[in-house]
Structure 1
Amino acid sequence: MLEHLTTEQRNKKTWNLDEMTTKEILQIMNEEDQTVAVAVSKELDQIEKLVHKVIASFQQGGRLIYMGAGTSGRLGILDAVECPPTFGTDQSMVQGLIAGGLEAFTNAVEGAEDNEEMAVEDLQAIGVTEKDTVIGIAASGRTPYVISGLKYAKKVGATTGSLACNKNAEISKYADVSIEVETGPEILTGSTRLKAGTAQKFVLNMISTASMIGIGKVYKNLMVDVQSTNSKLIERSKRIIMQATNVDYETATHYYEAAHRHVKTAIIMILLKCSYEEALQKLQKANGFVRKALI
């Protein structure tokens, strides 16, 4: 059935790709890439629905779990591992599962994407529950590993979502919310690491970022739950305090240390002129939302 997938069809603009100059290849790639954002924009309503599902999972102590094979699996892992340093989340809160295990992140594991049993085993290994949201990612929309994972997730009562780059995708049948971003034929036939992969990255960025904003991980447009795990992030934390409160570097540094290097607490201490303990209480009462804590 591959011939029916738009991601597998030949791009008429690049039938003579091997005869193009390097500049012409780069120009056509750039032109095709510009169509991705438009394709994603057509699915904003569905993306919004899925974000609300993820927020609901987080609010009840559940997790966001991505599942995919090959490029799709790697993109899920990439989005997941960026959440702890960016939003101060526990590493288990957003997870990425890839067919073939972590080895498949850097080395292709032949046949892994067809292994339906592995999908169930992977979800069982992390103890998926009805509190979680499981999102299956597959450019083709027909990967057996992903379909099997979504079936099992539904069986245990988890919320399910899907992300495909073809319309009427098979994985959509097993998702509570399905996202189908039709990116069309690639310049290199069937190479879905190109436009399809770019579209998936766009959507995963939207899902994780909007969901984290929805649970109070952002104040204004500042990442106030950033983890200060290296010198660059320590300086970024101080800069965020400065930007949120309009204090100078020395003042920001003082409150950063006084707040035990917790950016949110430092901001509240400065803006409300309160103690560390009072700031913590206000933040807890506001469920982690800085803006609500300031009221």
Structure 2
Amino acid sequence: MSDFDKITESPSLYDHLEGMEVSELLNFINDEDQKVALAVRESLPSISALVEAMVPRFLSGGRLFYIGAGTSGRLGILDASEIPPTYGMPHDRVIGLIAGGDRAIRKAVEHAEDDPEQAWKDLEAHSINDLDTLVGIAASGTTPYVIGGIRKARESGLLTAGITNNPGSPLARAAEIPIEIPVGPEFVTGSTRMKSGTSQKLALNMISTALMIRIGRVSGNKMVHMQLSNNKLIDRGTRYLVEHLGLSYEKAGEALTQFGSVQKALEHFKK
């Protein structure tokens, strides 16, 4: 018997869903979604504490790891994968790991989340050390893969945090910084890819974005270190230089090509 309330498994506030019109379903789902951001707001002190503690570690060469299973693992991988193109960081500074390995990104791997030892083995493959930060993500807060990784990481001197939608869960108790976001029952009972997953995505956005801003990867409100990997981003970078340096669009484009990033072009022209 668990000693905490499994909110994520509590019955939906709605019933007889199969008898509803599509418009009813969508309106009720939207009503529930509107509760998510308010629940995340309550967790801001914990998210802030994590970012504040992580910044000096990151600036000293530490990395940020996310671990999770299923939807939670995929959300961590999604957030990590967006850091290099958005902020020009190397791929090995923010890393997402999922129970079952990369094949679990697209297809569920049976029982992969049930091994409490596997996460640490996965982390050891990256030569994890005490400058690193580990964020475990589990809506239920009971996933053995995540809890096992967090416990071992904390014992090893890493900064640890746990994002969960069940306050008082084993994950919340295991992590140094629990980030508890009780969003209430899911529209479809137990379907934590819905409100719980949305809350996790919002929290991850905040963690990585605030971290990147604090370590200097944003100037003003611009992504000045973004990778210029397609025409849209090249155009965006060119317009940044037009705005900040007063160059013509053509000259700004030439400068961007010459220096390879918005930041390097800004630094050259502002000498």
The alignment's TM-score, normalised by the length of structure 1, stands at 0.88
Q: Which amino acid aligns with 2:112?
A: A
Please give the alpha-carbon distance, in whole angstroms, between the structure 2 residues aligned to 1:198 and 1:245: 39
User: 1:221, 1:209 → 2: CA distance?
Assistant: 11
4+ residue segments displaced more than 6 Å: none
Distance 2:85 2:68 in 1: 23
1:82-93 aligned at under 5 Å gives the runs 82-93=82-93
Greater CA drift, 226-235 or 176-185: 226-235
Q: Deviations over 1:102-160 (max 9, x none)?
A: 11000000101111121121011111100000000000011100010001111221110
* Aligned twin of 1:230: 230
Equivalent residue for 1:9? 10
SS of corresponding position for 1:116: coil
5+ residue gaps in structure 2?
A: none
Secondary structure (helix, strand or coil) at the match of 1:192 reads: coil
CA distance in 2, matches of 1:105, 1:257: 35
**TM-score, length basis structure 2:** 0.96
Counterpart of 2:268 in structure 1 is: 269
1:244 corresponds in structure 2 to 244
Work out which structure has the larger RCO, using CA pairs closer than 8 Å and 6 or more positions apart in sequence: 2
Amino acid at match of 1:114: D
| 2:203 partner amino acid | V
Deviates more, 1:69-78 or 1:231-240: 231-240
Q: Which moved more, 1:190-199 or 1:172-181?
A: 172-181
Matches of 1:246 and 1:45, distance apart in 2: 40
2:80 counterpart of 1:80: yes
Contact 1:53 1:133 in 2 (8 A): no
Matched, 1:67 2:67: yes
Please say if residues 256 and 262 of structure 2, whose CA atoms lie closer than 8 Å, have aligned partners that are also in contact: yes
Deviation, 1:60, is 0.8
Q: Once the 2 structures are TM-superposed, how far is the Cα of residue 249 of structure 1 from its aligned partner?
A: 0.6
Look up the match of 2:98. Answer: 98
The unaligned stretches of length 5 or more in structure 1 are 275-295
Distance across 1 between alignment mates of 2:46 and 2:195: 20
Kept in 1, the 8 Å contact 2:87–2:223? The answer is yes
In 1: Cα distance, 2:44 partner to 2:242 partner: 34
Say whether the 8 Å CA contact 1:47–1:203 is kept in structure 2. Answer: yes
Deviating more after overlay: 205-214 vs 152-161: 152-161
Query: In the TM superposition, what are the counterparts of 1:22-37 in structure 2 within 5 Å?
Result: 22-37=22-37
Q: Deviations over 1:157-180 (max 9, x none)?
A: 111011001111211122121100
Aligned residues with identical type, % of pairs: 46
Quick one: which amino acid aligns to residue 6 of structure 2? L
Within 5 A, what are the aligned runs for 1:105-144? 105-144=105-144
Judge conservation of contact 1:140–1:169 (CA < 8 Å) in 2. yes
Residue by residue over 1:158-213, the C-alpha shift from the partner in whole angstroms, topping out at 9 and shown as x without a partner, is 11011001111211122121100001100100000000000000000000000000
Query: Distance in 1 between the 2:131 and 2:266 partners?
Result: 32
Partner of 2:163: 163
Question: Counterparts of 2:46 and 2:40 in 1: how far apart (Å)?
Answer: 10
1:255–1:269 CA contact under 8 A, matched in 2: no
Map of 1:248-263 to 2, 5 A cutoff? 248-259=248-259, 261-263=260-262
Matched length: 270
